[in-house]
Amino acid sequence: MKSSRKATIKQRLASYRRSPSSLMLRILVILAAATTAFILLTIIGYIVMRGIPHINAGLFAWEYTTENVSMMPAIINTITMTALALALAVPIGIFSAIYLVEYARRGNRLVSLVRITAETLSGIPSIVYGLFGFLLFAIALGWGLTFLGGALTLAVMILPLVMRTTEEALIAVPDMYREGSFGLGAGKLRTVFQIVLPAAIPGILAGVILSIGRIVGETAALIFSAGTIAGVPSSLMDSGRTLSVHMYALLSEGLYMDEAYATAVVLLLLVVVINTLSAVVARAFSRR
Amino acid sequence: MKSFRENFMRAIFLSAACTSIAAVALICYFMFSSGLPTIAQIGPAEFLLGRIWKPLNDLFGIFPMIIGSLWVTIGAMVVGVPVGLLTAVFLARFCPSRLYRMLKPAVELLAGIPSIVYGFFGLVVIVPILQELLGTNGKGIITASILLGIMILPTIIGVAEAAIRAVPESYYEGALALGATHERSVFTTVLPAAKSGILAAVILGVGRAIGETMAVIMVAGNQAVVPGSLTSGVRTMTANIVLEMGYATDLHRDALIATAVVLFAFILIINLSFSLIKRRMK
């Protein structure tokens, strides 16, 4: 196999002369991959080059004013929003994956219903989540635009992601582990928490990191659930905006292009860090 | 005591599993119960086929927005599907492993970039370029299509690559043994065998494109009229909601929620066809 692929240039040219369409296909495929790489480099290169000169100390002041347009409150909000949404969604996601993998019997009706609804949830666009959050938390429950409403909306949004990755991680744990644990006299619950879950942690963690990425990048679902107030909210029942929403607000006001560039750089940086983390965790997982 | 704890936790796990069912039920309930009466009140024909959207005059026709969403989605497919599929073929079948270790994270990074950053990039890079080239204000179907085409790349690449990799190696080897070149073997035996996976990738891309909001809003122009040409501005259903929800009241607000219901219906149909195809794959 390997040797046939490593044909000499001469042989290759000869085979392409016999079949020119193959050469065309190869060029097309390489062009497409080059385009994809080029697009990524352009986006990152352009935003970083134009954005870095606009980063200054004022953008990281603790208080937001219309003069400094600080993104610090938005960064703090992003961190608390992420923590809150994860705290709500991760336990539920892990528990439901445990039910699906460890408890449910094969061909259980409920299981297929859970799978279908989880699939549906992962396909719903974020603007529909936003309106749902608005209708349920802001209107029906009468909260108005609140940080908690935003976090709950995001929690529903990332739930299928946490569920699916945890499910895959649990399935990947060899049955031997469970049998060994049962053989030593441990109960089902003990087996799940002491044997299966610890072995699945890297996979679960990778899913959690992916979820963090989605929360950090989310805008449409938050505008109408958590609102767009620029400061750090004093309680969960106040409005507050995350970094992505902050950037949207800057762009829609139209006065703060420079600050938008700087915010985009910070967002990109966050995404790079999150992706690197998930790659590291995934590698640790595959090595085991 | 022990069996009580076992049963108690089992009940907890079960109720956690039911959360996603409850979530879908709640979302459906709130969307449909606020949207459907509005559609009935405006009149389904006037709402879905009306060509004039003038909330101040109580004219709520979302036909231009439906057409707008369809146009930019089709445009995004035209831009994104060929590049995405060919890139997936490259990653699965042509890529040296050293290059793969760089290209794969790059594609994942593309998936992680927030849509508002994509929108910003479209606004400051793609719009000015098209302004030069087309002599228009640069915002419109074409701009939105290019940007959305880029945004759906990682989705299409990821799903299609997995589908291509799932084709048994013997297909490829059989074609090689019959004297086909590497390229022909891949394109005439491996790709056809992966076609339902590839179709799933495309459908998932359609779902992403039609539901995208923040990026489209920056580059589509947002005029609520049926577009006359590929260069004219459009407003998608998603953009309609975000643009006006902030200040809308009464029937206007209900009409926006009803717009989301129509979008939701589109998404449900797309999801359904996706899961049907996925089931057929197994």
**pLDDT, tens only, B24-61:** 999 999 999 989 999 999 999 999 999 999 998 889 99
Distance (Å, rounded) from C-alpha B12 to C-alpha B178?
Answer: 58
Verify that B27 and B129 share a domain, yes or no.
Answer: no
Query: Are both A42 and A120 inside the same structural domain?
Result: no
Indicate whether A130 and A10 sit together in one domain.
no
Q: Minimal CA–CA distance to B210: which of B134, B273, B136?
A: B273
pLDDT at A285: 67
Residue from B207, B169, B203 nearest B189 by CA: B169
Maximal CA-CA distance, chain A: 75
Q: Which chain B positions have a beta carbon within 8 Å of A275's beta carbon?
A: 105, 108-109, 112
**Same domain as B66, residue B131:** yes
- Arithmetic mean of pLDDT over chain A: 89
Contacts of A271 in chain B (CB under 8 A): 109, 112-114
d(CA A173, CA A188): 15
CB A71 within 8 A of CB A264: no
Choose one of A54, A73, A97: the last residue of a domain. A54
Please choose, from the candidates A282, A166, A143, A103, the residue with its C-alpha nearest in 3D space to the C-alpha of residue A226.
A143
Of the pLDDT bands very low, low, confident and very high (cuts 50, 70, 90), residue A63 is: confident
Nearest C-alpha in A relative to B25: A117
CATH number at residue B192: 1.10.3720.10
Q: Are residues B14 and B67 in the same domain?
A: no
Residue-level pLDDT at A3: 45
Q: Are B59 and B195 within one domain?
A: yes
- B91 and B163 housed in the same domain: yes
Residues of B in contact with A227 (CB under 8 A): none
pLDDT by residue (tens digit) across B216-236?
999 999 999 999 888 899 999
Clarify whether residues A47 and A164 are in a common domain.
no
Tokens of B133: 């080239």
In chain A, residues with a C-beta closer than 8 Å to the C-beta of B214 are 219-220, 248
Residues A123 and A217 in one domain: yes
B138 and B251 fall within a common domain: yes
> Closest Cα of chain A to B177: distance in Å?
11
- State percent of chain A over pLDDT 90: 63
Which distant-in-sequence residues (6+ apart) come within 8 Å of B210 by Cβ?
A125, B69, B73, B236, B238, B263, B266, B267, B270
Looking at the complex, report in whole angstroms how far the Cα of residue B30 sits from the nearest Cα belonging to chain A: 7
Query: The whole model's pTM is what?
Result: 0.92
Asked if residue A94 and residue A11 are part of one domain, the reply reads: no
ipTM: 0.91
In DSSP notation, B51-77 reads: --EEGGGTEE--HHHHHHHHHHHHHHH
Which one of A118, A123, A251 has the shortest CB-CB distance to B20? A118
The enclosing domain of A148 has a CATH number of: 1.10.3720.10
Q: Is the pLDDT of residue A104 over 60?
A: yes
B239-275 in b/e burial notation, b at 16+ Cβ within 10 A? bbbbbbbeebeeeebbbbbbbbbbbbebbeebbeebb
Assign A287 a pLDDT band (cuts: 50, 70, 90). Answer: low
- Together in a domain, A38 and A82: no
B16 touches chain A (CB under 8 A): yes
Q: How far is CA B201 from CA A248, B94, B153, B213, in A?
A: 29, 20, 10, 20
Contact call for A188 and B211, based on CB within 8 A: no
Are B57 and B172 part of one and the same domain? yes
Domain shared by A169 and A103, yes or no: yes
Indicate whether A24 and A112 sit together in one domain: no
Nearest to A224 by CA among B256, B262, B64: B256
Q: What residues of chain B, 110 to 169, have a C-beta less than 8 Å from chain A?
A: 110, 112-121, 123-125, 150, 153, 157
The pLDDT assigned to A286 comes to 66
* Confidence label for A22 from pLDDT (cuts 50, 70 and 90): confident
**Binning pLDDT at 50, 70 and 90, where does residue B282 land?**
low
With bands split at pLDDT 50, 70 and 90, how would you rate the model's confidence at A192? very high
Predicted local confidence at residue B2, as pLDDT: 67
pLDDT at residue number A6: 56
Last residue of a domain, one of B29, B45, B61: B45
Total domains in chain A come to: 2
Which residues does chain B have within 8 Å of residue A279's beta carbon, measured at their own beta carbons? 105, 108
Task: Answer yes or no: do A104 and A46 share one domain.
Answer: no
Do residues A160 and A264 share a domain? yes
pLDDT given at position A9: 76
Q: Report, as an integer, the average pLDDT of A48-72.
A: 87
d(CA B142, CA B159): 25
Same domain, A37 and A128: no
Tell me what pLDDT residue A1 has.
41
Is residue B72 a contact partner of residue B220, using CB atoms and an 8 Å limit? yes
Task: Quote the number of domains for chain B.
Answer: 2
The arithmetic mean of pLDDT across residues A255-284, rounded, is 89
The tokens describing A108, both together, are 């259980």
What is the pLDDT averaged over residues B95-110?
91
Residues B276 and B243 in one domain: yes
Query: Same domain, yes or no, for B31 and B53?
Result: no
Instruction: Report the pLDDT value the prediction gives residue B94, as an integer from 0 to 100.
Output: 92
* CB neighbour list of residue B117: distance below 8 Å, 6 or more residues apart: A43, A47, A217, A247, A264, A267, A268
Structure tokens at A219: 């805008």
Residue A272: how many other CB atoms lie within 10 Å: 15
Same-domain check for residues B109 and B235:
yes
Contact A124 B182 (CB under 8 A): no
Are residues B8 and B76 part of one domain? no
By residue range, what is the domain housing residue B24? 2-45
Q: Give the burial string for B130-148 (b: 16+ CB within 10 Å, else e).
A: beeeeebebbbbbbbbbbb
What pLDDT does residue B84 have? 96
Percent of chain B at pLDDT > 70 equals: 99
- Tally DSSP H helices, then E strands, for chain B: 14, 2
Residue B146: what pLDDT? 96
Range of the domain at A37: 2-54
Q: For chain B, give the mean pLDDT.
A: 92
* Per-residue pLDDT tens over the stretch A85-101: 999 999 999 999 999 99
Same structural domain, A13 and A152: no
Give the per-residue pLDDT at B72: 96
Q: Do A43 and B113 count as a contact with CB atoms less than 8 A apart?
A: yes
* A5 vs A9: CA distance, rounded Å: 11
**Average pLDDT of the residues in B135-150:** 93
| DSSP 3-state percent helix, strand, coil across chain A (nearest 5) | 80, 0, 20
For the segment B232-279, what is each residue's pLDDT rounded down to a tens digit? 999 999 999 999 988 888 899 999 999 999 999 999 999 888 888 877
pLDDT > 80? residue B211: yes
Residues B40 and B62 in one domain: no
Residue B69 sits at the chain A interface (C-beta within 8 Å): no
